A and B are shown apart, each in its own frame.
Chain A
Amino acid sequence: MQLLIDILSWITILTGSFFVITGGIGILRLPDFFTRLHAVSMPDTLGIGLIILGLVLQAGFTQTSAKLIMIFLFMIFTGPAATHALAKTALHGKLKPKAMYKQDEESST
């Protein structure tokens, strides 16, 4: 039983680490600011979620798990707020995204 939980938590932690690294690669590779936002939201959701799930599996039903879950909930709620605030400030700060409006694109073609 303990071995099964260990293996499960190893798998989740490794998968979470993979998504975290992918976010790091993405933030370097993607071409402009608005696309980099997408790279950051990857470790912010699944990366954190899977790593914390793995730690919760290791800790079992204790106060530590409760704290971990609280950290996870807090980051899940504040992550989108921070990203949205950042994107909005960038847009108002006259940083133009390289993307085109879909509506404009259709009317021009």
Chain B
Amino acid sequence: MIFALAACAILLTMALTLSRGILGPTTYDRILAVNSFGTKTVLIIAVLGFMTGRPDFLDIAFVYALINFVGTIAVLKFFEYGDLGGARSPDEYES
């Protein structure tokens, strides 16, 4: 019961976040929305796992948290430097 309520709250928030991702005037707003959406996804996987009595879902939640972080950083790196290659300093890119 309580898990269903929490799941509803998280789903509502996901809808709000998604609408910001669709509306978002700048690209950064969209990335922010996607990152926030991923966080909510991790939460809802955990809550749904408890709701259906299968806590094994937590492994999936953990993997999703990892992918969410790495994905956000990868997209941002692409925006900042234009490619996903090695660890160069920003100055080298500008020249």
Contacts from A to B (Cβ < 8 Å): 9-10, 13-14, 16-18, 20-21, 23-25, 27-28, 33, 36-37, 40, 43-44, 47-48, 51-52, 54-55, 58-59, 64, 67-68, 70-71, 74-75, 78-79, 81-82, 85-86, 88-90, 92-93, 95
Contact = CB atoms under 8 A, between A and B. Distances in A.
Q: In which size bucket is the chain B interface?
A: 35 or more
B29 to A, nearest CB: 5
Nearest to A91: B28
Q: Is the interface of A mostly helix, strand, loop or mixed?
A: helix
Closest 4 A-B residue pairs measured CB to CB? A24-B13, A24-B16, A17-B9, A78-B69
Interface string B1-17: 01101100110111111
Contact of A82 (B13, B47, B50, B73): B73
Nearest to A11: B2
A93 B12 contact: no
B26 A55 contact: no
A20 B43 contact: yes
A71 B13 contact: no
25 contacts: A13-B6, A17-B5, A17-B6, A17-B10, A20-B10, A20-B40, A21-B12, A24-B16, A27-B17, A27-B20, A33-B29, A36-B32, A40-B32, A59-B50, A59-B55, A64-B55, A67-B58, A74-B62, A78-B69, A82-B69, A82-B72, A86-B28, A88-B80, A89-B28, A89-B80
B76 interface: yes
Given A68-B46, A89-B76, 15 more contacts: A9-B2, A10-B2, A17-B6, A20-B43, A21-B13, A23-B36, A27-B33, A33-B26, A36-B20, A43-B13, A48-B43, A55-B47, A59-B50, A88-B80, A89-B80
Interface in B38-95: 39-40, 42-43, 46-47, 50, 55, 58-59, 61-62, 65-66, 69, 72-73, 76, 79-80, 90
